[in-house]
């Protein structure tokens, strides 16, 4: 282990990752497994075919308590939360005054409190953002609970073997379930394009529960490498790559997450940072758009690759923000931003790869159909 790795934080499953042969790398200040002996390709395909277990304990779990906590949180996001039913969750994003995205997150109504799950690299800033702007609420990071994700077509069958009631949960449901006298917070969603669950549980029980899941022949541990390729195939954004403070929710194609009540004419229209930018874009369209991209040939096109309108154009029109090989598709895939006039499906563009221009075609997202439980 290098000196830099000794300074990294560890999740409750760190020893288990090492036991399972995980290749550990620094990620968002944590020592995390990028892959296991099965390899990224094998892990990706296993998750698509059976069920994969992810350690996502590095993400931030934040509890908001106080009167009308969900309504208060609406001041920071363009998403309707006040009417979020008990036991349900929604995808949301923090915006800044320019309409840029500070982070994306999941928000759950757990009755006694609102639970926000935020990205690992942003959680300190997110926590401060909420504490500074929601002074009427008690905003506290949960530090004594791990977070696991079980994803794949066999996820329900596997988890129901330990928690039978999860079979009744719908996509975006949240509920408490008991396991050996321990209360687990379970949600049904996922960021792979597959049906799956997230399980928050005390650190002390995390390894035992993970071992119980891994004992099932359909479950394999999955690292950060396959997690990235799975979400890319599903056309899902990675914060810091596909969305950041320079991209608005409309540019990013996240209009589906903004309910009518927060739009112009809605009961609680606007009122969030950057509304004067986001709402006009919602009505009139954004000047650029996030699109799917299918490179010709077998060479993956990575983040930062420049895009051009023609093979010999000198003016760069866009940039790839995520790219790699899609194991389920057997071909390279990518996402990036281009001006709206170039965002139509099948539009041919050119990417500059190692000084050479190669054709790439705009494609609809996701690259493969999602299999969420509805």
Confidence of residue 228 (pLDDT cuts 50, 70, 90): very high
Residue 374 has pLDDT above 90, yes or no: no
Query: Could you report the per-residue pLDDT of 97-130, keeping only the tens digit for each?
Result: 999 999 999 999 999 999 999 999 999 999 999 9
Confidence of residue 373 (pLDDT cuts 50, 70, 90): confident
The share of the chain scoring above pLDDT 90, in percent, equals 96
pTM of the model: 0.96
CA distances from 140 to 67, 131, 143, 161, 200 (A): 15, 8, 9, 33, 16
Domains, the chain, in order of start with CATH, read 1-282 (3.30.1360.120), 287-363 (2.40.30.110)
Query: Could you report the per-residue pLDDT of 150-186, keeping only the tens digit for each?
Result: 999 999 999 999 999 999 999 999 999 999 999 999 9
Tokens coding 256: 């589906």
Confidence of residue 358 (pLDDT cuts 50, 70, 90): very high
Residue 27 has pLDDT above 80, yes or no: yes
For residues 1-16, average pLDDT:
79
H-only helix segments in the chain: 3-6, 14-19, 39-49, 69-73, 123-133, 155-160, 203-214, 224-233, 275-284
* Most distant CA atoms of the chain, gap in Å: 66
Query: Could you report the per-residue pLDDT of 205-220, keeping only the tens digit for each?
Result: 999 999 999 999 999 9
pLDDT at 3: 42
Query: Could you report the per-residue pLDDT of 68-102, keeping only the tens digit for each?
Result: 999 999 999 999 999 999 999 999 999 999 999 99
Summarize the chain as % helix, strand, coil (round to 5): 25, 35, 40
pLDDT at 5: 54
d(CA 172, CA 164): 18
For residues 301-330, average pLDDT:
97
d(CA 236, CA 370): 11
Tokens coding 309: 């309108």
Residue 25 has pLDDT above 70, yes or no: yes
């Amino acid at each position: 282990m290098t000196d830099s790795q000794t300074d990294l934080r560890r999740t409750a499953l760190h020893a288990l990752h090492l036991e399972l042969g995980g290749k550990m790398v620094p990620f968002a200040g944590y020592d995390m497994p990028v892959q296991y002996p099965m390899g990224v390709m094998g892990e990706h395909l296993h998750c698509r075919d059976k069920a994969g277990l992810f350690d996502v304990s590095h993400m931030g779990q934040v509890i908001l308590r106080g009167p009308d906590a969900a309504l208060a949180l609406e001041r920071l996001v363009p998403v309707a939360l006040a009417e979020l039913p008990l036991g349900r969750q929604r995808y949301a994003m923090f915006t800044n005054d320019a309409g840029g995205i500070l982070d994306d997150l999941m928000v759950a109504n757990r009755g006694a409190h609102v639970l926000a799950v935020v990205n690992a690299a942003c959680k300190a800033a997110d926590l401060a953002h909420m504490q500074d702007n929601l002074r009427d609420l008690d905003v506290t990071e949960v530090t004594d609970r791990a977070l696991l994700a079980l994803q794949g077509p066999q996820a329900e069958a596997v988890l129901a073997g330990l928690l039978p009631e999860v079979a009744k949960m719908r996509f975006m449901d949240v509920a408490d379930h008991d396991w050996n006298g321990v209360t687990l917070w379970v949600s049904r969603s996922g960021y792979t394009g597959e049906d799956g669950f997230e399980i928050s549980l005390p650190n002390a029980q995390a390894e035992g529960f993970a071992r119980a899941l891994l004992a099932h022949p359909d479950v394999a541990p999955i690292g950060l490498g396959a997690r990235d390729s799975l979400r890319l195939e599903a056309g899902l954004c990675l914060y810091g790559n596909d969305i950041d403070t320079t991209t608005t929710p409309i540019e990013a194609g996240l209009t589906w997450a903004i309910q009518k009540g927060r739009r112009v004419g809605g009961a609680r229209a606007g009122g969030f940072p950057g509304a004067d930018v986001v709402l006009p874009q919602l009505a009139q369209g954004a000047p650029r758009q996030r699109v799917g991209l299918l490179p010709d040939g077998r060479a993956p096109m990575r983040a930062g690759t420049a895009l051009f309108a023609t093979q010999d154009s000198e003016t760069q029109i866009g940039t790839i923000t995520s790219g790699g090989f899609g194991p389920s598709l057997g071909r390279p895939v990518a996402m990036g931003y281009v001006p709206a006039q170039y965002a139509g499906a099948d539009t041919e563009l050119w990417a500059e790869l190692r000084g050479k221009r190669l054709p790439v075609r705009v494609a609809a997202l996701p690259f493969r159909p999602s299999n969420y439980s509805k």
